[in-house]
Structure 1
């Protein structure tokens, strides 16, 4: 039992995405914080992580590199700001290709009720223009597809 992805723009600089997963939050949190697990699901269909590095400490860095259709490559990274396992994960994020200007602050809140984890992700951008570039991109499709891949992995991990 999972809910579809919802995307909202509650302010001029923020995007909030919410999605539920039929899994305990400790497992969903692990999927966000262990490189070998991130590589199994994070990204739209056709985009696969070929390098995932995570130093899961406040001040520690993370970096993901994807290969996609037609030999395309994309990479992003940042620094962890808050870690409250398995409740909260906050980090900065920038993309190498600079498809939106500046850095965003990403916060994931993991709440669990009756074995279902609701993930609320807040992305705070430096400007309305950066937020608008992201919201007008196919970001919501890519996130939804990645979460479908996560559903598949969570189901296999539970069995």
Structure 2
């Protein structure tokens, strides 16, 4: 079985960014890779050279999550949020906040099963078009694409 190694990026509305990627792994495993700290710390690292020393997930509506990334030089960045809804193995909706300089987003992640493959569609909704466009000008695409490539490799080892 092969994996689509390219993530497809789009802007479905004036305030949204969506990324779609298919993984050669069953829906349950892909969902767990996105929602369980023991998996997240292996792949959601963005560009090379980062680690994730903090990964806390309370996977339930009203539950919070917190992640901290660290570079070898000690530079850190943190992200927090709250789960608004969780449908096991098929969808999460959560807030995401990077800090005072960035607006909070609402992210919907769908996990669509197709046999032994799973397509993930993650949609990030920003409060304004300007905020969305500003986010797109960061390294978010490169970081996410690198993480998704890492996840594809990680899932292959888990299947």
Of residues 67-76 and 141-150 in structure 1, the stretch that sits farther from structure 2 once superposed is: 67-76
Shift of 1:8: 0.5
Structure 2: tracts of 5 or more residues without a match? none
1:30 equivalenced with 2:32 (yes/no): yes
Alignment match, 2:143:
142
Shift of 1:2: 1.7
Q: 1:13 aligns with which of 15, 23, 37?
A: 15
Alignment match, 2:45:
43
Distance 1:104 1:81, change over 3 A: same
Alignment match, 1:87:
90
Shift of 1:69: 4.7
Structure 1: tracts of 5 or more residues without a match? none
Count residues in correspondence: 156
> Following the alignment from structure 2 to structure 1, what is the Cα–Cα distance between the partners of residues 125 and 32?
23
Q: TM-score, normalised by structure 1?
A: 0.94
> Following the alignment from structure 1 to structure 2, what is the Cα–Cα distance between the partners of residues 120 and 19?
7
Q: 2:60 aligns with which of 32, 45, 57?
A: 57
After TM superposition, where is structure 1 displaced by more than 2 Å over at least 4 residues in a row? none
1:68-108 deviation digits (Å, cap 9, x = unpaired):
25321010010001100100011000013x443x2100000
Shift of 1:5: 0.4
Alignment match, 1:120:
121
1:153 equivalenced with 2:157 (yes/no): no
Of residues 102-111 and 44-53 in structure 1, the stretch that sits farther from structure 2 once superposed is: 44-53
Q: TM-score, normalised by structure 2?
A: 0.94
Q: Which secondary structure state, in structure 1, belongs to the residue aligned with residue 93 of structure 2?
A: strand
1:36-88 deviation digits (Å, cap 9, x = unpaired):
11111102122211110011110000000000253210100100011001000
